[in-house]
Amino acid sequence: MTGMVGNRLETIVRPDAEMIPQLAQFDAQLLNDMNVVSKVFPFRANRYVLNELVDWSKGPDDPIFRLIFPSREMLPEEDFSALDRAIQDENKPKANELIYKIRHSHNPHPAGQLEHNRPRLANGEIADGLQHKYRDTLLFFPSDGQTCHSYCSFCFRWPQFVRDDALRIAMSDRTLFLSYVAEHPEISDILVTGGDAFTIKSSRLRFYLSELLTPKFDHVRNIRFGTKALSYWPYRFTIDSDASDLLRFLTELSEAGKHVAVMAHYNHPRELQSDIAQSAIRAIRSTGAVIRSQSPVMRGINDSADIWSDLWQKQIGLGIIPYYMFIARDTGPKQYFEVPIARIWNIYSTALRGTSGLNRTASGPTMSSFYGKIELLGVQVDATGEKSFVLRALRTRHELNDYELFTAKYDETASWIDDLAPAANAVWPAGIQRQF
């Protein structure tokens, strides 16, 4: 551990050796590659992440290095070399054109996010910045929370971080949000998300959410905050200037009878290691909020059973409840991080075998797809030795198919629901049927 962790948030937006002295150990080619890719996918880091999370002795294969830094393999070779050339030639218009084109070829809003679930008020007004994802759950994207204290290289929300307005969804006005929630008594859960809900100042969180404590909003029982600040900037909960007010606000929400859930994004056990990370966890738990954890499985970051076993057991020890293991969705540099579903099943089941029930709260590997959430329940082998995947519709758009089971042909290379086909004689739930 270095003693020199700055505890003031200083963000670093270019992966170059001038700003990040540790990068001087790498060759010029790698540095150039990172610079080129960071023009397409945004880069952001801070001293805590660089000094405390990355293990520089492991070089570019370090899991946290891969989590933070861009890599050449994230772009198709032809896109990479075209952009590299435009940058070498200092041809800015060409570079910008390529950046725009490449971003849009990366499925920036997967699962139909922009077109679907776009709520309207009773007066017809469209409430951008809200997504009525499931009947009971409303996602709220405050405009001041559409960033993170550091960025994950695999992030699918990057369109919200880059200044490309056509790709953004966010809201700065609380009136639309509150009117919509008031009009919908079926909403029990509000999920404040981004980006990172805890990049928002506590005074602004109060501005958006305090009204929810009035009787008009008794139907809102659960308030969740999607965050990675526990990993990327734990000082948010300890010595940031409004840390104590944030903790007070969470306490007030809990004491008013709301269930407060901090949906923490943890990819690797190292994120739980530092004293400051553990103090932040204790601080949040002292407010009455529950911390639940989720993460996708990513190649080269956490694609091993040992890592997940360690991650979940450490979380249990710290009072964090494992919630979702995600199968990475089809956006951004997906190929680079892709892990086949069959391997993910091995990782999940091996990680949990030999652990007690308290460790087993994470649902099976889950795809948050256009059709809704689909959980992988296992691999089934029939009397002839034929294998199939057993899947469960967990949360479908209109709830009609929730909890229905279905099976798909076993396929060692498939990595997403769209790669799967029904097993022999299997019928898929109506909400999940596709054109084959």
Ligand X SMILES: *Cc1c(COP(=O)(O)O)cnc(C)c1O
Residues that bind ligand X (CB under 6 A): 133, 137, 139, 191, 368, 373, 395
368 touches, from ligand X, ligand SF4, none (C-beta below 5 to 8 Å by class): ligand X
Among residues 151 and 428, whose Cβ is nearest to ligand SF4?
151
CA distances 369 to 160, 206, 395, Å, are 19, 32, 10
Which positions lie near ligand SF4, rule CB under 6 A?
148, 151-152, 155, 157, 195-196, 228, 265
If you ran DSSP here, which 8-state letter would residue 139 be given?
E
154-157 long-range contacts (CB < 8 A, ≥24 apart) are 154/67, 154/296, 154/298, 154/301, 154/328, 154/332, 154/333, 154/334, 154/336, 154/337, 155/41, 155/332, 156/110, 156/329, 156/331, 156/332, 157/194, 157/195
At closest approach, how far in Å is the CB of 141 from ligand X? 11
Spatial distance between the Cα atoms of 377 and 391, rounded to a whole number of angstroms: 5
> Which residue's Cβ lies closest to ligand X?
368
Rg (alpha carbons) of the chain, rounded to whole number? 22
**How far is 47 from 52, CA to CA, in rounded Å?**
8
Do residues 363 and 325 touch, judged by C-beta distance below 8 A?
yes
CB-based contact 398:359 (threshold 8 Å): no
Counted residue by residue, the chain has a size of 436
Measured from the CB atom, the residue of 82 and 187 that comes closer to ligand X is 187
Query: Running DSSP on this structure, what letter comes out for residue 8?
Result: S
Task: Report the nearest approach of ligand SF4 to the CB of residue 128 (Å).
Answer: 18
Which of ligand X, ligand SF4, none binds 270 (CB below 5-8 Å, type-dependent)? Answer: none
Provide the token pair at 34.
């990172």
Tell me which amino acid residue 88 is.
Q
DSSP labels, 255-320: HTT-EEEEEEE--SGGGG-SHHHHHHHHHHHTTTPEEEEEEEE-TTTT-SHHHHHHHHHHHHHHTE
Smallest separation (angstroms) from ligand X to the CB of 208: 18
Partner from ligand X, ligand SF4, none binding residue 133, C-beta < 5-8 Å depending on class? ligand X
Closest CB 132 distance from ligand X, rounded Å: 11
Find how far residue 268's CA is from the centre of its chain.
13
Cis omega (within 30 of 0) for bond into 195: yes
Q: Quick one: 68 or 176, whose CB is closer to ligand SF4?
A: 68
Q: Where are the beta strands (DSSP E) in 127-198?
A: 130-134, 137-140, 189-192
Q: Which of 357, 362, 426 is nearest to 390 (CA)?
A: 426
Nearer CB in complex with ligand X: 66/373:
373
- Residue 222: how many other CB atoms lie within 10 Å: 16
Which of ligand SF4, ligand X, none binds 152 (CB below 5-8 Å, type-dependent)?
Answer: ligand SF4
Minimum distance from CB of 293 to ligand SF4 (Å)? 12
Binding site partner of 196, from ligand SF4, ligand X, none, Cβ cut-off 5-8 A by kind: ligand SF4
From ligand X, ligand SF4, none, which one binds at residue 228 (CB under 5 to 8 Å depending on kind)?
ligand SF4
Residue 265 interface partner, choices ligand SF4, ligand X, none, CB cut-off 5-8 Å depending on type: ligand SF4
Which of ligand X, ligand SF4, none does residue 139 bind to, with CB < 5 to 8 Å depending on kind? Answer: ligand X
Minimum separation from the CB atom of position 190 to ligand SF4 (A): 18
Identity of the residue, 191 or 230, whose beta carbon is nearer to ligand X in the bound complex: 191
CA 240, CA 246: separation in Å to the nearest integer?
10
Please say which residue, 369 or 396, places its beta carbon nearer to ligand SF4.
Answer: 369
Could you tell me the smallest distance in angstroms from the CB atom of residue 69 to ligand X? 26
Alpha-carbon distance 64 to 49, whole Å? 9
Give the nearer residue to ligand SF4 in terms of CB position, either 161 or 217.
161
Residue 373 partner contact from ligand SF4, ligand X, none using kind-dependent CB cut-offs of 5 to 8 Å: ligand X
Nearer to ligand SF4, 95 or 130 (CB): 130
Output 291 or 393, the one with its CB closest to ligand SF4: 291
Which residue do the tokens 């996602």 mark? Answer: 139
CA-wise closest residue to 54 among 265, 202, 271, 241: 271
What minimum distance in Å lies between the beta carbon of 5 and ligand X? 33
Closest distance of CB 133 from ligand X, Å: 5
Closest approach of Cβ 156 to ligand SF4, in Å? 7
Task: Please give the Cα distance from 65 to 147 (Å, whole number).
Answer: 20
Cβ-based nearer residue to ligand SF4, 193 or 401 = 193
Q: Which does 395 bind (CB under 5 to 8 A by kind): ligand X, ligand SF4, none?
A: ligand X
